[in-house]
Structure 1
C-alpha cells in the first residue's frame, strides 16, 4: 500500500506558477471530405513527434482522439498559444488527409480502438463495451489553475467544488449528452469534500488513486502538477470561448482565496 508520505510526494507545487492557467484540449480525428472518424492516433502521434512543439501533443485513450496541452501561462498569453498549437496540429493532420474536429460527442458507430499505451490498455482491460463506448465518444476541454501548495489547493477546491453545475452550464454544447456519457464512465463524478491532506489520502485509498492520482476521475480535482483541474467543459472550435472558461475558473480560485483569507482572519480575531 502507498504510504501517506509516498502519496504526498507525488504532488509537485511551484509557487511561482500560482494562479497561472493551462488548458488541455481534445479533438476527434476525421477524414477530410467524408468526415468519417478515424482511429489514426498512432500515425498522428508519430507525425507530431517530429514537430518542434512535440511536447504539447499526446494521444488519448481512444485511438480516434488526440489532444494538445498549453504551458502554464498568464491568462493574457493563453489565446495566442492555443491558436498556435491548433494551427500546428491542423497543418500536420492535413498532410495525412485528416482534420481535428472540436465537437464534444461522437457518433455511436465510431471505432472503439484503444491507443496502444500500457496505462490505457490496463484501464480498458475489464471495461464493459458500453463503458468503453462512452469513454471513447466524449471529448472535452480541461482548464488548470496553478496552486502554491497542497493545503491552499485543498481549501480552494473545497470552497468552489459546489460550483460545478454552473461550470457545466457554461461549457455544455451537447445538451448534457457529454456529461451523461462521462457519468457512465465515472459514476463518482461529483467532486467530494476533502478533509485536509489526510482526508485526500483517505479518499485516494477509498477510490483507488493512491498509486496514481491521475486516476481520480472527479469533475474537479487536485493534480500531481500542482493545479486544480476543471473538467466540466465540453469541446468548442472557439479559442475565445476557451479563454472565457479559463478566466472564469481562475477568478473562482482568486475569489475563493480572498474569501478564505477573510474567514481565517475573522477566526483569529474571535479566538476560533
Structure 2
C-alpha cells in the first residue's frame, strides 16, 4: 500500500524563540523538493507544511521527509528564521496572524477567538485504499489504536510560555472544536458523509474537509488520513507513525466488522494519552481499564505484526528508541524550559533534517 506524510512546522525567530508570521516569505524560497512533494501554508501565518509525494515504501518516505525538512529549513534560514518541529508553540507569538485567503477568513468568522493564536502542528499519515467504503471500514478499526499512536507521537508539553503538565497540549487545544477526537463509528461511507454534511449544515464546520477527527477518509485523496500524532520531533518519529499506520490499515482491510466500542472510554483513552504520553497509565479501549501505556504499545505491535512484513525490525527498533529515549514531549521537558525546547527542536538546514540538539 502507498503511504505519504504531511508535516506541519512552526517558523521561529532565533533571537526570541517565538513564532513569527513569515510563512509566505519562507515558502517563496523553497527549492529542491523531492518528486511529487509540495509545501503549503496553514491557518497560522507562522506555520508551514511539507507534504511528501506518494511513496511505495518506508525507505523512499524517509528520503522524502529528510529532503522536505532540509528544503524548508534552508528556506527558513535564508529569511533569518528557524523551522521548529513542535505540536504547539513553546513560547507565545506576540503578534499572531492568520494566513490570507477566503477559506481562512471563513474559519476566522466561525471560530473567532478559538483560532486567534491557534498554531498547533501535527503529523498526518495518508495510506492508500481502493475506495471510500474500505476507508470507512478501516477507520472503524483504527478507533481503539488512535490513543496509542498519540501517546507515541506526543510532542507538545509547553504552550505559550508554560509547562502545561500534558504530553500533548495540541490535542487538548483541539478538543473544543466540533468534529474532534476519535471519529464516530460509521457503518457505510454514506453514513459517514451524511454525518459530516450535517455538521456543515449546522454551521459548525466551514466545509467537509474541516473535521478535527484523529482519523478520517481523506476528502482530497483515495486514502485514510490519520492525524493522531503531534508534529514529529525527528524524521524517525514521523517514519514510526507512518509505518504503524500503514500496518494498521493493512490489518484492518481484510478484517471483519470492527467492534463498536464505548465513545466515552475512547475519549478517556485519548485524554490519558494526551496527559501522560508514554510516561504514565493508559486506558485500554477494549477492557475499559487503566493499564501501563507500554502495555498498549506492545498490544499494538502484536496486532500489526504480520502486516509489518519486511519493516518489522525497523518499526520495532523505532518503537524501542521512543520507549527508551522518550517521546518528543519527554525530550522537550528534559531541555528544561520552553526556550531550550525550541533549541532542541529547531531543524537543521543540512544533514538529516533532524533537530539541532
Contact 1:108 1:133 in 2 (8 A): no
Q: Which runs of 5+ in 2 are unaligned?
A: 158-166, 258-357
Q: Partners of 2:179 and 2:55 in 1: how far apart?
A: 32
Contact 2:129 2:222 in 1 (8 A): yes
2:111 aligned residue: 127
Query: Matched residue of 1:137: which SS?
Result: coil
For residues 131-167 of structure 1, give each alpha carbon's deviation from its aligned partner in whole angstroms, at most 9, with x where no partner exists.
1146x23111111111111111111111222222112
Q: Partners of 2:66 and 2:141 in 1: how far apart?
A: 32
Question: Structure 1 residues 117, 70: closer, same or farther in 2, change over 3 A?
Answer: same
For residues 109-148 of structure 1, give each alpha carbon's deviation from its aligned partner in whole angstroms, at most 9, with x where no partner exists.
443200002111111113232x1146x2311111111111
Query: Matched residue of 1:205: which SS?
Result: helix
Q: Partners of 1:176 and 1:87 in 2: how far apart?
A: 25
Contact 2:179 2:211 in 1 (8 A): no
1:78 aligned residue: 61
Q: Which runs of 5+ in 1 are unaligned?
A: 1-18, 262-272
Quick one: which of 60, 63, 66 aligns to 2:48? 66
1:221 counterpart = 2:195: no
Quick one: which of 128, 131, 138 aligns to 2:120? 138
C-alpha displacement of 1:189: 2.8
C-alpha displacement of 1:257: 1.8
Contact 2:174 2:180 in 1 (8 A): no
For residues 36-80 of structure 1, give each alpha carbon's deviation from its aligned partner in whole angstroms, at most 9, with x where no partner exists.
3211112223333xx353961011000011111001102321100
1:148 aligned residue: 130
C-alpha displacement of 1:230: 0.8
Q: TM-score, normalised by structure 1?
A: 0.81
Q: Partners of 1:168 and 1:250 in 2: how far apart?
A: 15
RMSD value, Cα: 2.4
2:237 aligned residue: 241
1:30-49 pair list within 5 angstroms: 30-48=12-30
Query: Matched residue of 2:5: which SS?
Result: strand
Q: What number of residue pairs does the alignment pair up? A: 241
Q: Partners of 1:53 and 1:118 in 2: how far apart?
A: 27
2:270 aligned residue: none
Quick one: which of 252, 255, 261 aligns to 1:259? 255
For residues 13-42 of structure 1, give each alpha carbon's deviation from its aligned partner in whole angstroms, at most 9, with x where no partner exists.
xxxxxx211111011101234323211112
1:116 counterpart = 2:100: yes
Contact 2:20 2:96 in 1 (8 A): no
Q: TM-score, normalised by structure 2?
A: 0.63
Where relative contact order (Cα < 8 A, 6+ residues apart) is larger, the structure is 1
